[in-house]
Amino acid sequence: MFFSKTYIKTWFILDLVSSLPVDYFFLLLDTGDNPGGYTIARTGRAIKILRLVKLLSLLRLLRLSRLVRYIHQWEERHRFLSIASMVMRILNLLALIILLAHWNGCLQFMIPMFQNFPSDCWVSLNALQNAPWTEQYTVALFKALSHMLCIGYGRYPPQSYVDMWLTMLSMVIGAMGYAVTIGHVSALVQSFDTSRRLYNEKFKQVEEYMAWRKLPREMRNRISDYYEHRYQGKIFHEDSILRELSERLRLDVVNYNCRSLVSSVPFFSNADPNFVSDVVTKLRFEVFQPGDQIIYEGTIGDKMYFIQEGVVDIIKSDGQVLTTLSDGSYFGEICLLTRAKRVAGVRCVTYCNLYSLDSSQFESVLESYPLMRRTMESVAAERLNKLGKNPSIISTRYDLKRDAAALKDMIDRVTPQPSSDESSQSDSSSILSNQNKKNDFKSSLSHLHEEFKKSFIKKRSNRNRRKTSLEHKKIKNLSRNYLSAPKSNSIENQIKKSPSTPFSSLH
C-alpha cells in the first residue's frame, strides 16, 4: 500500500501520459472528413507539431537514474570482489557512451523528420525516407558517432544550416563526453588497488630518504626486506580506520584479526573471553627480522610479546641459548610483573610477527582479572627457576599493593564516621562536622608523627650522651693512672703521641 501511494505521487502521471496511443489518435483524425469539407491533413504541417506530445515519453528515460542506483547498490554489495567492481565500472562507462550516441542519433533523425525530410537533409541524400527503421537507425548512429568522435561528418557533409547546427551540437556533446570519459578512466585507475598505490608512494619516499642519508647497501637491503615483509605490498591506515568504527564493531574486527593469535596461544585458549577481548584491543603488531635483538638482558622492560608467527631464542649475556620459543608463546612478562630488569635476552631466528603489550595496559588489564595474574605469575616463576633466579620476587610488587590496599581499608575503618544523630541534621552542618572530624583525625596523626620523631631524637641524644660519658670515664682513668705512676720517658712519649688525651697540649 505504501509503495502504491508513493508511485501515484511520483511516476504515475508521467507514465500515464507517455503511454497514451498518440499515433493512433492522430491517425483517426487524419482519415476522417469533417462537415466543412476539409480534413485534418489539409491544415498543413502546423497540426503535426502536436505530435511533440509524443516526446513526453522521453521523460521516462529519467527513470534510468534508478537503474544507476541499483547498479551502485550492487557494487556496494559485492565490493569485496575488486575485479568485479572494476569490470562493472568499465561497463558503466561504455553504457554511458552508447547512451549518449543513441540519443544523438535519434536527435539527428528526428529533426529532419519534423521538417518532412527536406531535399538537402542527410536523410534525403541517403534516400532513407522509406527505408526500414534498422537501416535508418544504423546510419543515424554512425553519423552521431562520427560527429562525437570528430572523425568525419558521415557519408555526406552537412548541406543545410539545420544540419550544421546539429553537427556542431554533436561535436560539443562528443567533446564533453570525451572529457568525462578521460576523467572517469583516470579516477578509475586511481581508485583501483589504492593500498598498493599508497605502498608504492611510501616505498619511493623511503628509497629517496635512504639515498639522501647515504645509508650503506646492507642497511638499505634490510630496510627494503622489512617493508616487503611488514606491509606485503599494501599499506592501510588501520588505526584511523578502527578509530572511526563503533566500539562494538571495532572489537569484533580486532578479535577477527587476532583470531590466529588467540587460537595459537594456549594462555588465551583457556582464558576468560572477556580477558582475551580486553587484551587483544590493546595489542600492537610488530615485525622483526632474523638476527634482531628484541630484548637485551639487564635492561628495563616496558613490553611483553606474543608470538603469532616465527621463532626466537632466549639467550644469556654470554650468548648461551637457554630455550627456543615459537608460534603461540609469549615472553617479557617477568619484568612487567616484578618491575625488575630483564633476566635474559631474546633474539629472532626467523622473521617474527609479534603482538606487543606495554606495561601500563598490562597492569590495567590484570587489575580486573587477578586469576589471570596468578596464572602468569606461575608461568613466570617456572621460567625463573630454569634461569636460576629466585621465583619469590614475582609476587612482591603485587603483594605490596595488596598490603597497601589493606592498610588503606584499616585507616578508613578507624576514621571517625558521622553518628545517627548527626545525620539527622542539615546537610551543610553534617558536611562541616565530618570535615572537622577528618581534620582532627589528621591533626592527631600529625601529632603522633611528631611525638615519634621527638622520641627518636631523644633516644639518639641519650645514646650519644652515654657514649660521651664512657669516653670521659676512660680519660679520667687514664689521667689517674698517669698521676699515680712514676714518670718515665716511655709513658710521657705515649701520652704525647695520643691525640685523644687532653694532656697532649701541655707539652
The answer to which of 98-107, 190-199, 230-239, 287-296 has the lowest mean pLDDT is: 190-199
Place of cell 606495561: 359
CA–CA gap between residue 426 and residue 55 (Å, rounded): 86
Q: For strand 345-348 and strand 352-358, is the pairing parallel, antiparallel, or unpaired?
A: unpaired
Complete edge-to-edge strand list for the sheet that includes strand 312-315? 293-295, 345-348, 312-315, 321-325
Query: Greater confidence, 87 or 327?
Result: 327
CA–CA gap between residue 11 and residue 59 (Å, rounded): 10
CA–CA gap between residue 362 and residue 370 (Å, rounded): 12
User: What is residue 484's predicted lDDT score, i.e. its pLDDT?
Assistant: 53
pLDDT in tens, 307-366: 999 999 999 888 889 899 998 888 988 888 877 788 889 999 999 999 999 888 888 888
For range 277-305, the mean pLDDT = 90
* Contact by Cβ (8 Å): 88, 71: yes
For residue 312, which phi and psi values (nearest 5 degrees)? -130, 155
Whether the predicted pLDDT of 215 surpasses 90: yes
CA–CA gap between residue 110 and residue 116 (Å, rounded): 10
Burial class for 354, CB neighbours closer than 10 Å (0-12, 13-18, 19+)? buried
pLDDT in tens, 467-485: 556 555 655 555 555 445 4
Confidence of residue 443 (pLDDT cuts 50, 70, 90): low
Query: Greater confidence, 26 or 223?
Result: 223
C-alpha cell at 24: 493512433
The beta-strand segments (E) located in 316-417 are 321-325, 330-331, 345-348, 352-358
The DSSP call for residue 60 is G
Other C-beta atoms within 10 Å of 120: how many? 15
- What's the pTM value of the predicted model, to 2 decimals? 0.52
CA–CA gap between residue 303 and residue 258 (Å, rounded): 18
Place of cell 493512433: 24
CA–CA gap between residue 18 and residue 354 (Å, rounded): 67
DSSP string for residues in 271-336: S-HHHHHHHHTT-EEEEE-TT-EEE-TTSBP-EEEEEEE--EEEE-TTS-EEEEE-TT-EE-HHHH
For range 398-414, the mean pLDDT = 51
Q: Report the DSSP beta bridge partners of residue 287.
A: 353
Amino acid at 487: K
Confidence of residue 62 (pLDDT cuts 50, 70, 90): low
The answer to which of 24-38, 239-253, 300-314 has the lowest mean pLDDT is: 24-38
User: What is residue 34's predicted lDDT score, i.e. its pLDDT?
Assistant: 47
User: What is residue 188's predicted lDDT score, i.e. its pLDDT?
Assistant: 77
Whether the predicted pLDDT of 504 surpasses 60: no
**Helix axes of 194-213 and 161-191: crossing angle, nearest 10 degrees:** 60
Confidence of residue 44 (pLDDT cuts 50, 70, 90): very low
Q: Please, how many CA atoms are within 13 Å of residue 257, restricted to the half-sphere of its CB?
A: 15
Amino acid at 485: A
* Contact by Cβ (8 Å): 328, 264: yes
The answer to which of 10-24, 148-162, 264-278, 318-332 has the lowest mean pLDDT is: 10-24
Place of cell 670521659: 472
Confidence of residue 121 (pLDDT cuts 50, 70, 90): confident
Confidence of residue 423 (pLDDT cuts 50, 70, 90): very low
Which secondary-structure segment (H or E) carries 101?
A: helix 82-114
Query: Greater confidence, 164 or 461?
Result: 164
